[in-house]
Amino acid sequence: MNRSSRPPPDKTMPPLSAAELVKHPEFQHVTWALEPAKKGKIAVAEGRGGPIQISYQIHGNGPTKLVWIMGLANFKTTWQRQTKDFGHGQNTNRDQSTKYSCLIFDNRGVGESGKPLVRYSTSEMAKDTLELIDHVGWTSQRQLHVIGTSLGGMIGQELALMVPERIASLILISTAPRLFSTVGWLQNLRDRVTMFLPKAIDVQLDSIKARTFSQPWLNETDAEGHFPTNGDRWAAQELAKRQNVEGFTKRGFILQAIAVNWHHKSAAQLKQLGDQVGRNRILVIHGTEDRMITQPHGDLLVKELGGEENGVTRCVAEGRGHGLPMEWRRELTKVIAIFVEKTGKL
């Protein structure tokens, strides 16, 4: 796919402080009120350290089944832009709520799902996901369009290896087959140490923003038109999440982070994934300015899945960072819609 162009940034503005953000009139509305067609909780992982309650929602009631798997320590509502674009009627695709059904859920360890003190792994989280998918009745062959970002992409790899015959498409965003350092050993050591040092909330927000999004996008005017910048909107969303002290916990974060760091799919496993799912059903999307899971991880994923020359589709988001569902929303919606339609006809 063609590389995307980036709009010119607005003038740099100093970010609002956490104290200013919580007083902003839009702060109470950063999580959108999108009414699901169905919602609930199910118990998973019986005999696997459970039962664990998994909270889910389905938006839209169409025949095309989209499974959205979220990344590290984020709630299911972090998919709200994609939920709106594919599961509701308020964007340019006016019929999408009757075309798509969007399954979103909180992974174990976050949000309204259970947070047991057990070892988390991407394979166990994929089993949770599969039990949920079975529960909602999406059990046909080549029915599932699986979209995973970051940790969610790692879970998506595991899920596809478990039930390759049920995968209609596998869309892997800002993710990796396994983590490796793309910086010097000293910088890598500093990053790992400073991750766990206590910091003031404004320092934390600035650090996470810089690793998750491209600076020009952070400086641009809020795409929704309420906060001064995109960066301020993201920071408000992050603060709102952290105010939910039952949904966002240090324990849940650490347990999910362990799953990320121990995720490891070998070249042989990825070849098997490509063979069994079908390389023409796999799309890998990565931003060139991703500082969380750097672009070489995406390059390796494409290569070990079999490469573009053998049918894997690669999409490079030029100048974009890690948080593509937010930073690259409009383009991502188009790319996913086109790929889902294409693979649905295979």
196 pLDDT exceeds 70? Answer: no
> Is 104:83 a contact under the CB 8 Å cutoff?
yes
Evaluate whether 48 touches 127 at the Cβ level (below 8 Å).
yes
The mean pLDDT of 210-215, rounded to a whole number, is 96
Average the pLDDT over 272-299 and give the result.
Answer: 98
pLDDT of residue 97: 72
At residue 199 the predicted structure's pLDDT band, cuts being 50, 70 and 90, is: confident
Closest CA to 87 of 113, 68, 71: 68
Position 267 scores a pLDDT of: 99
Q: pTM value? A: 0.93
**pLDDT tens digits, one per residue of 296-334:** 999 999 999 999 999 999 999 999 999 999 999 999 999
CB 283 within 8 A of CB 165: no
Count how many Cα atoms sit within 13 Å of the Cα of residue 207 in the half-sphere of its side chain.
12
Residue 9 pLDDT = 42
pLDDT at 6 over 50: no
The 10s digit of each residue's pLDDT in 78-100 is 999 999 999 997 544 456 678 99
**Percent above pLDDT 90 for the chain:** 87
pLDDT at residue 10 in the model: 46
User: Of 145, 100, 115, 106, nearest to 283 (Cα)?
Assistant: 145
213 — phi, psi (to 5°)? -130, 160
Does the bond joining 198 to the residue before it have cis omega, within 30 degrees of 0? no
pLDDT given at position 181: 85
Q: For residue range 134-189, list pLDDT tens digits in order.
A: 999 999 999 999 999 999 999 999 999 999 999 999 999 999 999 998 865 556 55
Q: How far apart are CA 135 and CA 41, in angstroms?
A: 10
Above 90 in pLDDT, residue 274? yes
User: In this predicted model, what pLDDT tens digit does every residue of 25-80 receive, in sequence order?
Assistant: 999 999 999 999 999 999 999 999 999 999 999 999 999 999 999 999 999 999 99
Alpha-carbon distance of 69 to 172, in angstroms, equals 10
Mean pLDDT over the full length of the chain: 93
Q: Say what the pLDDT of residue 7 is.
A: 45
